[in-house]
Structure 1
């Protein structure tokens, strides 16, 4: 990884050194300088393409691994917030490479952002679905919807209040986790790309 970043820094420096602004006008018109600039542009395009392809595959493989590992999801009988610390750490490892890619070719960030967001979206959907399934399995509410309606309209049946409080508790848990998932996704959007 360190060698890739160093290569990127060298390439960025070489391209900046051969810009017309940094050269004497007499040198800028020389054929050797033009040839070297064209060679570096070709090298830049190849590097950006390969690094972008690597990062797209990397994001997808991280999410695939997390989806296939059941320990990331709520287990039967326990609701837990998904832990993305490992994903965050692994993505931050390549933050410096992303900055260099941005300086070399800003147009490569759009497809990278799309690949990252679609992978993260897939993970968040799976986590939300697993959490909802576990929540549904752990909540035992009355099957009679009129019981809920009577309780919400002010009916004074004490037996029904337990049913509605169970549903209310489940709904509150679901909203709490959903808000945490939204916070997590906005964190990634702001700090990684």
Structure 2
């Protein structure tokens, strides 16, 4: 026996709206928990959640009378909301068209504009060439030279620290195992002229 596919949240919302619009009635939550599974395939356990989301976005109205909550949604309200959205969209569209027309006024293709665009392009190319040339001479920049000096100093200190470590290990190996220094150098690939950097 195959398991029924769970409805998405949006599908449940759509079906719940359909239930309200088709019946054009007012319901309590318990009524919807009985009706929604039969009519629209929405599980009784998810009715409360779907109902709350529809109330939160104003699609379904809710009123507390005494100790009970009553829910309703009529197609006329939804139609008015759609019309209002459509009118707002039309207004936005009209405003955007006016803005576009206003922005393009005075920007018609003229000889002067074409010359200015050409000049702008020429200046941008010139700027790019100058930037490339400045980049060539970057190593002569005093700040860059100072940064290189500092980096060299740090590298030299690190190299001498590692050289110190190697000499300490060689000394330990000679004492501990009685190896000769030239054998240690040969086995570990340490050059004969290995020493500190001045």
| TM-score bin (small chain) | under 0.3
Larger % of helix: which?
1
Larger RCO of the pair (alpha carbons < 8 Å, separation 6+): 1
Q: Which has the larger radius of gyration?
A: 2
TM-score (norm 1): 0.25
